[in-house]
Amino acid sequence: MKTDTLPKRDNLWKTRIFPALLLTFLFIVFISIFKLSFSNLIFDYKSLYWTFRFTSLTFFIILISYIFYELNKVFFKNKLIIVFLIVCMLAISLLDVEYFKSTWLLSGNAVLTAFGQVKFLFINVNYSVNFLMFFALPILFLVAKVIEIRKRIIWKKVILMTLYYFVTSFVLIAFIKTFVIFMSHSNGLEYILLFVLVSIGADIGGFFGGKLLGHKLFANKLAPQISPKKTIEGALVGYLFALFLAFAFIFAWNAAFPSDDNLGQIFLGSKNYGAYKLIFMMNLLVSPAFAILGDLYFSFLKRKTGIKDFSNLLKGHGGLLDRIDSISVVFALWFIIFLFL
């Protein structure tokens, strides 16, 4: 028995635990550099300040370009079409001049003081961001797909692929915009870490919950046609563990960094948050479920497009898009909520 379990544990360490720890470390480094580039702590050192700002901008564009590349190469083989769509998605992600100026080009710390300003940066006066996000990309995709196929077009399949592409593109662009806005927000780091923890908690809890309790309460799998290994028990454990991590993080952050702007003040502070408190609570309660649904959606997308992973960039973990699947959906959820606050 020992000889059987040791290789399995060793394989688990090499294929899941160690890569996950490495990715977490790289994420922390990236977040630190990114956040520092918006900090007034180094503003007096102009050369250092703009070095960090330029580095973070360059690294950010490279990362999201590769994410867009992973998505587009699933649907297209023509390299010119792929490059064209990547450029279009980059333009939409950084379209609004005010959005770009207030997050990247200001000479000081781009601090946003209210979610009303966040909403303004997402929807400008002439609604060009909304128009392009909702109409331009699927139209461009449809035209590009018809050009690439040319003959024997199966319209039902093309329309479905267009729908999948639109939904995925919307999620990714919403994720990118929300991430950058919160990076420039005085208390945005707490939101970012909260969203990431919810997604990671749902994934870790689901994995170990499925290993320990799989099929002990429910005979059926969670979504056998999409992800055969996922169990209902795993999803429930993942949901509860993510929720536990979320509340633990909120109160721990509030204790470590006391501030009237902390999320913990929604529960502990004397200020009346009104409807926002209820909206925040409801959103927080459904976030783990959306993390699980996000994981399932991207698994569904990979099955529909006939791929195992979006790329082989990360050995044993697929591509960048494979790593941010559930995270991007959680960000997109909050993106939508903030638009209507």
Per-residue model confidence as pLDDT tens digits over 166-183? 999 999 988 988 888 787
- Per mean pLDDT, which range of 17-26, 37-46, 192-201, 226-235 is the poorest? 37-46
What confidence category does residue 16 fall into, taking pLDDT thresholds of 50, 70 and 90?
low
Handedness of CA 213, 218, 224, 227 (dihedral sign): negative
Residue 127: pLDDT above 50? no
**Mean pLDDT, range 109-120, rounded to an integer:** 40
Residue 311 burial (CB count, 10 A) = 17
**Mean pLDDT, range 292-316, rounded to an integer:** 90
Higher pLDDT, 295 or 122: 295
- Residue-averaged pLDDT of the chain: 80
Residue 41 burial (CB count, 10 A) = 10
**Mean pLDDT, range 292-303, rounded to an integer:** 95
- Residues in CB range of 336: below 8 A, 6 or more apart: 174
Q: 223 - beta bridge partners?
A: 227
Max alpha carbon distance in the chain (Å)? 67
CB 196, CB 323: distance < 8 Å: no
Residue for token pair 């639109």: 166
Higher pLDDT, 253 or 217: 253
